[in-house]
Amino acid sequence: MRSPGDRLRAHWPEYLMEAAGLGLFMISATVVTAALEYPQSPYHAMIPDPVARRITIGIAMGLTAVGLIYSPWGTRSGAHLNPAVTLTFLRLGKIEGYDALGYVIAQTLGGWIGVLISGAAIGTAIEHPAVNYVVTVPGEPGVTVAFLAEAAISFGLMLAVLIASNHRRLGVFTGLIAGCLVALYISIEAPYSGMSMNPARTLASAMPANLWTAFWVYLTAPPLGMLLAAEVYVRGRGLKQVYCAKLHHQNGTRCIFRCDYPSN
């Protein structure tokens, strides 16, 4: 059995890929949001309807997610980009504990660094209340609705990922399905909770903004929703029908997980 040090030396590239992946996602989120929501941006005036702007942001972030999942880094690391996803695959027995810890630390640092890079690139626009480091906070319906909404969308995403990634024909489309859900959730659910599904993503924005409103919602609801989805999937199909922790497995890159993915 490998020691933690051996595992770190062997798997550090995957950890860095996870950090870079969430970092790039946060850069995309901040830049796109600033471009469309910052009042002095020309693109803000081009799309005067706030709902249309939110849908446009959703499409952009969905495409970002798809690109990251199918990128060379995403296909190798598995493109979790989210501690709640990693925790769920840990519960399902598909990732070693030390690797899960490495992933969560990398995701947390990567998301935060991504926001800092964005701030340096776009300047004071990121601080404007319309952008505000793309923080995720409860909407007007309140904290309870935000918690339920975060749990529900996290449940839906993980259940879709488990169904698709463990299906011979649907597996290759897992990233596309996940990206479509990200776009849909931002377009429809964002007014209720800000649409996080990701504790590291929320933390990355909360730290530079120094805004911690109902932060506990984003630490608890996404993992609970995804773990519940895992329970539903396992009770319906069995634990042996979870083959791997990669969102996209049909590629030639190495796999560091407890992989039982069918070879044909």
Q: What pLDDT is stored for residue 262 in this prediction? A: 76
Q: Are 160 and 181 in contact (CB under 8 A)?
A: yes
| Percent share of the chain, pLDDT over 90 | 89
pTM of the complete model: 0.95
Closest CA to 259 of 118, 94, 30: 94
Q: What pLDDT is stored for residue 140 in this prediction? A: 96
Q: What pLDDT is stored for residue 2 in this prediction? A: 63
Query: Token digits for 75?
Result: 């296909």
The mean per-residue pLDDT over the stretch 185-205 comes to 98
CB within 8 Å of 77: residues ≥ 6 apart: 14, 15, 17, 18, 21, 103
Q: What pLDDT is stored for residue 3 in this prediction? A: 64
The Cα 67–Cα 83 span in angstroms is: 19
Three-class SS state of 167:
coil
The mean per-residue pLDDT over the stretch 130-143 comes to 97
Q: What pLDDT is stored for residue 10 in this prediction? A: 86
What residue ranges do the domains of the chain occupy?
4-241
Query: How many beta carbons lie within 10 A of that of residue 52, not counting itself?
Result: 13
Q: What pLDDT is stored for residue 253 in this prediction? A: 84
Closest CA to 92 of 234, 232, 263: 234
Is 176 a residue whose pLDDT tops 60?
yes
Helix axes 215-237 and 83-91, enclosed angle (nearest 10): 30
Query: Token digits for 5?
Result: 């040090």
Is 40 a residue whose pLDDT tops 70?
yes
Query: Token digits for 241?
Result: 């029908």
Q: What pLDDT is stored for residue 250 in this prediction? A: 74
Q: Burial code of 7-24, b = ≥16 C-beta within 10 A, e = fewer?
A: beeebeebbebbbbbbbb
Query: What tens digit of pLDDT does each residue of 57-78 get?
Result: 999 999 999 999 999 999 999 9
Is 7 a residue whose pLDDT tops 90?
no
Query: What tens digit of pLDDT does each residue of 87-129 get?
Result: 999 999 999 999 999 999 999 999 999 999 999 999 999 999 9
The mean per-residue pLDDT over the stretch 178-187 comes to 98
Q: Own/partner pairs for 137-145, CB < 8 Å, 24+ apart?
A: 137/193, 137/194, 137/211, 137/213, 137/214, 138/192, 138/193, 138/194, 138/213, 138/214, 138/217, 139/190, 139/191, 139/192, 139/193, 139/194, 140/191, 141/192, 143/214, 143/217, 145/192, 145/193
CATH T-level fold of 4-241: Glycerol uptake facilitator protein (1.20.1080)
Q: What pLDDT is stored for residue 114 in this prediction? A: 98
Q: Are 168 and 262 in contact (CB under 8 A)?
A: yes
**Average pLDDT, whole number, for the chain?**
95
Alpha helices by DSSP H, the chain = 4-37, 42-46, 50-70, 72-77, 83-91, 97-122, 143-165, 174-188, 190-193, 199-209, 215-237
159: DSSP letter:
H
Is 189 a residue whose pLDDT tops 70?
yes
